[in-house]
Amino acid sequence: MVLKWLSFRQLPGADVPIKIQENDFDVSAEIANLRKGDPRVGAVVTFLGTVRDMNDGSQVKGMTLEHYPGMTEKALQEILDQAKARWDIYQTLVIHRVGPLMPEDQIVLVAVTSAHRGEAFTACEFIMDYLKTAAPFWKKEDTPDGTRWVDARVTDEAAMARWVKK
């Protein structure tokens, strides 16, 4: 087959995967896929967020995550574009689950690759801090006293403010 000789290898880092999904994900498989075919990569930093069984002094039996389809993808894309402009990184990945979740479930994965660890560590933290305040997701918790919408934390705003260039 002629096509075999024309197999285009995607430029590493050219695509910016953003996945909003109800299904769980496999962290190892996602990392393997992210850095596959890119021998420049010497560091992969990931952040994995999971569901706690306690929040604001109440037991959490489960939660439901709502988001704003369309805007969510745009907001995450902007965050990743900013990270790529500020740090010397290669691939980035954000997976965020929506819908019903239980304690211990995985909620969010951020992964960043780079040649050396420093840039990837910093960019990963930046992406997570921005996601917490700029990506349109909302958690509704199921507690023994009924359901409640989670309040935004002042500490999240403060974490994001650290990244604003003076």
Question: Which residues contact another protein (rule: CB under 8 A)?
Answer: 49, 65-68, 70-71, 74-75, 96, 107-108, 128, 131-140, 149-152
90/137 with CB nearer another protein: 137
Q: Which residues share a beta bridge with 92?
A: 112
C-alpha pair distances (Å), 48 with each of 27, 91, 106: 9, 17, 7
In angstroms, rounded to a whole number, what is the distance separating the alpha carbons of residues 128 and 46?
A: 10
CB 114 within 8 A of CB 90: yes
20/115 with CB nearer another protein: 20
40/74 with CB nearer another protein: 74
Q: How far is the CB of 156 from another protein (least distance, A)?
A: 8
SS3 string, 27-47, reads: HHHHHHHHHCCCCCCCEEEEE
Q: How far is the CB of 5 from another protein (least distance, A)?
A: 42
Tokens of 160: 């994001």
35/67 with CB nearer another protein: 67
H/E stretch holding 59 reads strand 58-59
Q: How far is the CB of 47 from another protein (least distance, A)?
A: 9
Q: How far is the CB of 108 from another protein (least distance, A)?
A: 5
